Amino acid sequence: MAGDDDLIKGLALPLMEDFYTIQGEGFHTGKPAYFVRIGGCDVGCSWCDVKESWNAQIWPLTRTDEIISRIKSCHSKTVVVTGGEPLIYNLGYLSSELKRIGFLTYLETSGSHPLTGDWDWICLSPKKYSPPLPEIFQRADEYKVIVQSIGDFDWAEKNLELLRNDCKLFLQPEWSKSDIIMQEIVNYVMKNPKWRISLQSHKYMRIP
């Protein structure tokens, strides 16, 4: 049985769920990928749509090799590691093993914990109340800000100078407020074309 030492080494992770689906958000929207959702989050966004992921204690500590064994047959050869907040854990073993067997590794994170692992793509989605650590900005390939009110546009702009010049910029409406805020996002992006709009298209498609 996996224990705390395995968790520290990244040889086991509190797995909430893993499944093959279509990426619904951000730069890679529409692409098939295997999702690994790790339980545990200390950011606690009020609008989070996977709040059941927050408490890591309720998710089984699963050996990382077992997770990888289920991924091996994935047709797309792309894995998205998300949460919760996956960087609470040591992701070095998971990512290195996935790359060793020929998979692309994508990470979705708030950046609130130190970066571990070897990643082909990092989506940084910053949160106001637990902002990213400074060192992750230059590693981000994608910067995706969730917008639920007008004030979030200023938050979105706040850290742009810390990002690489080639980082892709996205504004995404918070799902429950999308009818209210969508037109504001459209207007903002038209005035500020460095940004693009991300939608949670998987919800429209009714897939995980």
Is residue 1's pLDDT more than 70? no
DSSP 101-163: TT-EEEEEE---S---S--SEEEE---TTSPPPGGGGGG-SEEEEEESSTTHHHHHHHTGGGS
Full domain range(s) for residue 86: 4-205
Element (H, E) at 205: helix 201-205
CA 110 – CA 131 distance, rounded (Å): 7
Beta bridge partners, 32, equal 22
Q: What CATH number has the domain bearing residue 126?
A: 3.20.20.70
Is residue 53's pLDDT more than 90? no
- For the ranges 29-33, 47-51, 172-176, 180-184, the lowest mean pLDDT is seen at 47-51
3-state secondary structure (DSSP) of residue 14:
strand
Q: Which of 51, 65, 66, 58 is nearest to 14 (CA)?
A: 58
Question: What value does the mean pLDDT take over residues 28-34?
Answer: 98
C-beta neighbour count of 163 within 10 angstroms: 19
| Percentage, residues of the chain above pLDDT 90 | 88
Q: Directed axis angle between helix 64-71 and helix 92-100, to 10°?
A: 30
Is residue 3's pLDDT more than 80? no
Is residue 18's pLDDT more than 80? yes
Q: Which of 41, 39, 34, 37 is nearest to 17 (CA)?
A: 37
Rounded to two decimals, the pTM is: 0.95
Could you report the per-residue pLDDT of 61-83, keeping only the tens digit for each?
Answer: 999 999 999 999 999 999 999 99
- For all residues of the chain together, what is the average pLDDT? 95
pLDDT band at 161 (very low <50, low <70, confident <90, very high): very high
- For the ranges 8-12, 42-46, 163-167, the lowest mean pLDDT is seen at 42-46
Question: What value does the mean pLDDT take over residues 97-117?
Answer: 98
| Percentage, residues of the chain above pLDDT 70 | 99
Whether omega before 92 lies within 30 degrees of 0, making that bond cis, reads no
Could you report the per-residue pLDDT of 167-198, keeping only the tens digit for each?
Answer: 999 999 999 999 999 999 999 999 999 999 99
Is residue 36's pLDDT more than 70? yes
Question: What value does the mean pLDDT take over residues 120-127?
Answer: 96
If one counts the domains in the chain, the total is 1
